[in-house]
Amino acid sequence: MRRCTRTWLPPTPVGLFNDLAYALIVVEVLPGQGKADAIQQNISLNSSAYTKSLFWNYPASTRSLDTGKVYAWRVVAMNSGKAVAMSDIWTFKVATVKPAGTVVPETPYVEVKRAQDAAIATAGNVLRITYENAAADTAVKYTITSLEDAGNPVVQEGELHLKYGVNLLQVPLRQNKKLQQNKVYQLRFTSSRNENWTVKFSVNRQS
């Protein structure tokens, strides 16, 4: 059995829209093909996917996904049936769900970005991020805020030690009791160039 769930955030400000729903496009990325070309040219595997929720489970009744292939997906926000926004294009692979008692693979590294992004990463006991430190900072202070609680409270603060160039970083989450399963959070830090970098994630303690 293979599990495939996609999650996202609504376009903002939400108050501008009175009838939001979301159309999903999931396609196979063929060898030698870019993700944008795949979205534009390939037949969607889920042409009927349409939901008002902020998540979508790939139905078992639809064409099964192959663990040896790469897939691309995009969300299009619809208001009263008209497209109002669309997400970046993301790629993924599926993994076979392991029987109880086996080792669960580590969650992948996700890239922090300067632009706001609709995609939501998954973290377990740590959040693994990748960051290209072009500013040559030796350290940055980060905050994690809740995006689902009133006032977006800060639930964790800390410092990341950096080297010049690409950094693979791990933010510990295990001891933080403020982080709740499946809620959406945002990690944010500011470089010495005054650039704001963020990544959104939810916590799954089984990851």
Decide if pLDDT at 82 tops 60.
Answer: yes
Does residue 187 surpass a pLDDT of 90? yes
d(CA 104, CA 99): 9
The yes or no reply on domain 110-203 and CATH 3.30.720 is no
pLDDT at 53 (0 to 100): 79
Q: Mean pLDDT across the chain, nearest whole number?
A: 84
What the block records as the tokens of 74 is: 């995009």
* Residue among 55, 87, 50, 21 at smallest CA distance from 182: 55
Confidence (pLDDT) at 121? 86
Do residues 154 and 141 touch, judged by C-beta distance below 8 A? no
pLDDT reported for residue 207 = 45
Q: What is the pLDDT of residues 30-46, one digit of tens each?
A: 988 999 999 999 988 87
The pLDDT of residue 110? 87
Chain region(s) in the chain for CATH 2.60.40? 5-92, 110-203
CA distance 98 to 96: 6
Cα four-point dihedral sign 194, 160, 113, 21: negative
pLDDT value at residue 1? 37
Q: Comparing 101 with 173, which gets the higher pLDDT?
A: 173
- Averaged pLDDT, 62-77: 84
Three-point CA angle 110, 178, 12, nearest 5°: 55
| Domain covering 5-92, topology | Immunoglobulin-like (2.60.40)
Residue 102: its pLDDT value, please?
A: 47
- Segment 3-28 mean pLDDT: 80
